Amino acid sequence: MSRSASLYPASQVIAQIVRNSGYSPTGLLWALGYTDVDAELPGLESWLMNGEGPRSVIAEIAAAYPDEAQGLYRAVAETKVMIADGVDPAELERAKEIARFVPFLLAVGERRVPTQICIFGVSGSFERWCIIRIPHRILKRRVEEQLAWMPRLMARYKRRNEGMVPFFGRLVGFKLIQFGGYYQFDVDGRLVEHVDKPFRPGECWVELR
């Protein structure tokens, strides 16, 4: 596929069927028995990109993949309702992400990469050593009140770790991470700036095989 499928349920289900088949969209049409693939490809791509297209394509896919038929038809029906109601699936997904996201504090060390990375990973990674969870009662307050309360959490972290960030060296500051941006604090908990762009902390995990 030259582009990603849309977030409409029908597009997502069809894209998953295409991936599971091991074919490209063109190859899937050949496998379904179409002889004039060039004529049919725009219909399949319309389902992938726009969540709607020729019903004949849906019928052929459902017949070829009967285990997926029920979920496919359900996704098509859901998509039809969304389009009729003017629901943008991208905006809907963003709203869900915002609702799921919980702000947190991040302690920042002088190193960008942790030392002893395997031990760091198995001992709790960022969640244990760098992330400071904020009490729900504080998150319910206005942002100005939250900012005034954050230095208490920072001072507690700094005192507990004696001015260090485990595996990252000397503590150099903190970030209050929100969904679309973050507040930067210095090592003593003083507000430095607000950055209006997303920040995502690193990830680390260990697989034992």
pLDDT of residue 128 exceeding 50: yes
Which DSSP string do the residues of the chain spell out, in sequence order?
Answer: --SPPPSSHHHHHHHHHHHHHT--HHHHHHHTT-S-HHHHHHHHHHHHHHS---HHHHHHHHHH-HHHHHHHHHHHHHHHHHHHTT--HHHHHHHHHHHH---EEEEEES-SS-SSHHHHHHTTHHHHHTEEEPPHHHHTS-HHHHHHHHHHHHHHHHHHTTTEETTTEEEEEEEEE-SS-EEEE-TTS-EEEEE-S------------
Report pLDDT for 46: 93
Report pLDDT for 27: 92
pLDDT of residue 3 exceeding 60: no
pLDDT of residue 1 exceeding 50: no
pLDDT of residue 191 exceeding 60: yes
The average pLDDT across 4-12 equals 89
Task: Decide: pTM greater than 0.75.
Answer: no
pLDDT of residue 208 exceeding 70: no
- Between these two residues, 2 and 65, which has the higher pLDDT value? 65
The average pLDDT across 143-150 equals 94
Compute how many other C-beta atoms are within 10 angstroms of the C-beta atom of residue 89.
17
pLDDT of residue 104 exceeding 90: yes
pLDDT of residue 2 exceeding 50: no
How confident is residue 188, by pLDDT bands cut at 50, 70 and 90?
Answer: very high
CA distance 184 to 21: 47
